[in-house]
Structure formats: structure tokens, C-alpha cells
Structure 1
Amino acid sequence: MEDGTTIRMGLIGLGSMGRHHARVIREVEGMDLVAVADPYGDKHGVAGPLPVLPDVEALIGEGIDAAMVAVPTYLHEEVALALAEAGVHTMVEKPIAATAESGERVARAFEEAGLVGAVGYVERCNPALREMRRRIEAGELGEVYQITTSRQGPFPARIADVGVVKDLATHDIDLTAWIAQSPYVSVAGQVTHRSGREHEDMVVATGQLESGIIVSHIVNWLSPRKVRETVATGENGSFVANTLSGDLTFVANGDVRSEWDGVSVFRGVSEGDSIRYAIARREPLRVEQEGFRDALWGRDSDIVSMADGVHTLKVVEAVLESAATDRTITL
């Protein structure tokens, strides 16, 4: 599309994520929400003057340029393939599909059609994580040794059609590979089922990236404490991102030498100065839609590619396979 032309947007899925996308698409300069669809109607009342269409075919029939897909995960492939066939640029909410195999079919369809295909991993648009990635890329940590994430909290009110690994850990796997700019090569996981549902509700996963960085993820929805933290540790110290507040803190390795004989021989690090960076806090979902718009206009844009979406899903499936077989999975 030509830079600056208005993008006729369609939205399918008006549930817990779709309602936010409806608002944000209407706010983004250069986007015009012209059609919405959901076979179950508009329970959050976001359609406004637009008729609520029954399916993806009706959405395509409105002559849209691009679409946002926010239907349940098991429908992602069917809806995305219909949009690809119709020549509609598309962003699919995470994960790209229900399985990596399904995701590969979606990614291939958009690539072969020469369309912009993106996945909605909104955490990449969190101000603290964007700043962390920028500073790591600028060499401020020196060599990165380890990235750890913790995403814990109470059970979500929305009914999920998947367990905690595909619903939540998928965010951490995506953002870790993105921050490090390196894919996963191995992963191991342990899960537990404590809430009486068929899907897992707690996971602890560890892994290694191609670059040699070691990683760990703690994810659950059975904790009364809400935690959203990503920590990158390297030769110069640690970056700590609190993605609930959007804060980024740098804790430097100290250079104060210990007087105490017992520890002076230990060649480790000590705690140095801490800096909390002042960051402009823009709404991540809006940043995400602006990135999609820029990609459609042919501008430089850091959207999550469908290939990235497939890689993340392969890692997610490997975590579940590891937990089921009690062995480390090499990707």
C-alpha cells in the first residue's frame, strides 16, 4: 500500500482481546475500522454503527485492505487462510495457530501471496522491554549470560481454550528470543495440574538460545501475587523490567573491593549502583497496531513475523513434550 493512504481495516472476534483492538484501531491515524465480525455477536458493545457480520467471508465482502484476527486459537488457521486467499494483509492474535504445523501453513500462505502477515505478541510493545532490547543491542550489558522471566498471578477470568504454556508462556518465549535476537536451540519443562482443568496451570521451563544465553521461565495462573518480570544478566550487570508498571532498572556490577578475606578471593560480582530509567509509557496495543500500519505502508517496522510466531510455537510444543517425556528437547 502507498504510504499515508487510509487502511480499510476489518476485525474478526469481538471478545476479551477483540474489544480492545476495536478501540485502538479507531484511534490509530491512517486506519479506518470499516467492518467487524463475530458469530457470537457483540457482547462488549464495540461495533458502534457497524453491523456485526457472521463470518470471515462476510468480512472480506466489505472490501477490506487488512484484518485483525482475535478469534479463539483453534480458529486461527481457518480464518487466516481465508484472508490470505482473498489477498487481505493480516495480523493474528498470538499464538499464530493451535499447532506449529498449522502455523506453518498460515505463514506459507501469506508468504506465497506476498502479503504482510504478523502475529500479535503485544509484550514486545511494552515500553520497559523495548528499552531493554535497545540498550542490550547498544552493548550496555556487554555479553549477555542469562535471561529469566516470571509471569505469575491469579486465574484469568476469561475462559482459555489452552493451558498456561500456550496462553502465557508463549509471550515469554517470544520476547526472550526477541530481546536476545537469537532463537532457542533446546528446552526442558515441568508442568503441574492443580486447578482441576484438563490443561496445565503451572510451568517451569529452562533452555538455551543459539547465542549461548541460558534462559528460564516461571509461569502460572495459581498465584495470589501478580508478577511480570524479565531480567537480563550480563558481564556489566542486570536489566530488570517490570512489565506491569513499565519500569526498567539497571543494576550495575559493583567495583567495591571486599576487605573481608573470606570473600576477597571469590572472583564474583558485587552490587553496584542502580538506575531506574524514565520511559515514555505508551499503550502497548496501540504501538502494536501502529507497527502493523507502518508495515502496510512499506515503512520500517518491527512487527512480529509469522515465521517468528511459528518458532515460538515450536518451542512451546517442545516445552509440553519435555514435560510429558521428562527429557530435554533439542530444536
Structure 2
Amino acid sequence: MANLRAGLIGIGSMGRHHARVLRALEGVDLVAIADATGDPHGVAGDLELAPDIDTLLKAGLDYVVVAVPTIYHEPVALAVAAAGVHALVEKPLGHDTASAERITAAFESRGLVGAVGHIERYNPAVQSLRVRLENGDLGDVFQIATRRQGPFPARIADVGVVRDLGPHDVDLAAWVAQSTYASISAQVTHRSGREHEDLVSITGRLANGTVANHLINWLSPMKERTTVVTGERGAFVADTLTADLTFYENGTIATTWDHIAGFRGVSEGNVTRFAIAKAEPLATEHAAFRDGILGTSSQYVTMREGLETVAVVDAVLESARTGTTINR
């Protein structure tokens, strides 16, 4: 069977990594690259640098990876769909809900495989966590809390922290809980002198009753990427920076020292950090999309799921603007 022919548009800070992974991906040949702004990281190699999506599509492609700035996702993705070519679009799928709806409809109506690059799903710690939850290791899930904070990234100019980082945690929590958001309440602040928000605190309730909390900012001198899932048997802590997964088990041994028992609340049990295989998330994401095109797997993030995430992000911004809880 011939290898799939892949094209890549956008070779900036994220696109350069897509190029590297595509070149190493079994069963795929990276045959065309496009970027109207040039090749700042020198990733094109021996491939001619196309100026736009129309030129790229002339290479006879099976699929395209779209890694251009979010504001250009819609025109590029619609051109790919019109050409009858599958696409993996970087997150977020569109710059707002209406844009994401148009992109999703374009691919679904043509029976094309459309995916969104929500890379955190493919972090080894999160993948292992999802399997353990499916196995019932935690019992009922009560709360999913994420913290995503660090210094301001100079690469960001057109959006705030909600649209840039928010989709990661919104999608992660919904996927881990296997549920959609029923309500959203959010607060933002502006501390860095930019027009866009640089901190957001989100509280949500999922349709299955799980409470979700997300603290996201560009104001912290420390970099943190932590997901805590609390349930009836304890708590899982996934560190997606190190891809470590730790389980804090509720204790079964009674504490006879009354002062300590009252202070600690739920009794402490064993703490286990799991030894897990740590494949690169981007490589796992690409392999899942390749297999989706081949019809051998459905482990990619669909555009329909990506659309739902954009809608939740829009609700976060609406809640912050109006000071109200948004029920969905």
C-alpha cells in the first residue's frame, strides 16, 4: 500500500514540530509545505515552499495539517474541504463558534476525516489516567481541577489566555469525564498591559455532575501543567509537563490521634507514582489521525468535539464579560 501524501501549511513555532513528526511517521510522506511568511526555522528542507493553500493542494495530497494562526483556520480549512482532502487543524478549530461550525459542516458534508490538534489528550499521563478511570480505579468522579500557568509567551499577539490555553483544559476535562459542560462561570483579569486577558478562573459543571475548575494564566514565574481528578477512592494527579501520573489513595487505616484525624479529614492511604511509557504526544496524535484516515482507528479528536470546545470557550468569555453563569 502506498504511503499517504501529507501537506503542511504553517511552519511557525508549532508547525515546525508537525514537520518533524510527519517526516518520521510510518506510512506517511511529507510532500509539500506552505507558509506565506517564509521558513523561519528552516524546516522545508528540499521541499519547495508554497506561498498559499491553493498552491499546496496542487501537490495531490491525501491530507493537510493546518498550523496557521487561528484567524486563518477557517479560510484554509474550507479550501482543503472543497478540494476533497482530509485535514488535521490545530486547536482551536475556529476563532469562534460560528467559524468552527462552518468548518465542521464542510468536512462532515463531504464525508472527510476532520480532526483537531488537542494534543493534551495524547499526553501519556492523561492517556493512562483515562484508562484507569474507565477501569473504575477511582470510582465516581467528583471534581476535575486543572492549573495551567507560566510566563507570558512572546509568540502570542492576537488572543488572550482564554482562547490560547483555555481549549487545552476544556477539552481535557470533558474527555477525561466523558461528558460535556452544562454550565460555565468565569472571571478574568488584565495585568500585563495588553488588551486581552492574561488570567482566567473557570468553574463549571459537566452534564454528568462532575465539577470542573480551571486556573489559567500568563502571570506566573513558574510553569505548571497539573490535572487533579478527585473521586470516591482518592485522587489522581497528572503532571503533563513531566508526563507523570500519581494516585493518592484514600486510607483504610483509622487514625487514632484525634488532632491529626480532625486536621487531615479523609484518611491518607498509599501514594503510587506509576511507571508508564512516555511516547511524544504529538507523534501519538499524528498516528491516531493517520489511522483515522485509513479507517483502522477512531482515536483522533473529531471536529465535532473541537466545535464543542470552541463553544465552551466562547461561553467562558461571555460569562466573564457579563458576570453571569452561562447555562448550556
For the superposition of Structure 1 and Structure 2, which TM-score range results when normalised by the shorter chain? over 0.9
* Structure 1 residue 260, shift from structure 2 partner: 4.2
Q: What residue identity is the alignment partner of 2:319?
A: S
**Cα distance between partner residues in 1 of 2:216 and 2:260:** 35
Equivalent of 1:177, from 168, 174, 177? 174
Identity of aligned residues (%): 59
Task: Indicate whether 1:287 and 2:288 are aligned.
Answer: no
Task: Determine the structure 1 residue equivalent to 2:8.
Answer: 11
Q: What residue identity is the alignment partner of 1:193?
A: H
TM-score, structure 1 as length reference: 0.97
Task: Determine the structure 2 residue equivalent to 1:23.
Answer: 20
Q: What residue identity is the alignment partner of 1:136?
A: L
Task: Determine the structure 2 residue equivalent to 1:311.
Answer: 308
- Give the SS at the match of 1:158: coil
Q: What residue identity is the alignment partner of 2:199?
A: M
Task: Determine the structure 2 residue equivalent to 1:75.
Answer: 72
Q: Cα gap change, 1:267/1:273 in structure 2, threshold over 3 Å: closer, same or farther?
A: closer
Equivalent of 1:128, from 125, 129, 138? 125
**Cα distance between partner residues in 1 of 2:258 and 2:275:** 39
Q: Cα gap change, 1:108/1:164 in structure 2, threshold over 3 Å: closer, same or farther?
A: same
Correspondence list, 1:1-331, <5 A: 4-261=1-258, 269-331=266-328
Q: Cα gap change, 1:124/1:265 in structure 2, threshold over 3 Å: closer, same or farther?
A: closer
* Structure 1 residue 271, shift from structure 2 partner: 1.4
Q: What residue identity is the alignment partner of 2:138?
A: L
* Structure 1 residue 301, shift from structure 2 partner: 3.0
Q: What's the CA shift string for 1:210-264, capped at 9, x where partnerless? A: 1100010000011001110001000000000000000000000011213245687
- How big is the alpha-carbon RMSD for the aligned residues of Structure 1 and Structure 2? 1.4
- Give the SS at the match of 2:195: coil
* Structure 1 residue 270, shift from structure 2 partner: 1.2
Q: Which moved more, 1:254-263 or 1:174-183?
A: 254-263
* Structure 1 residue 269, shift from structure 2 partner: 1.7
* Structure 1 residue 266, shift from structure 2 partner: 10
Structure 2 unaligned spans of 5+ = none
- Give the SS at the match of 2:307: helix
- Asked whether the 8 Å contact 1:144–1:213 carries over to 2, the reply is yes
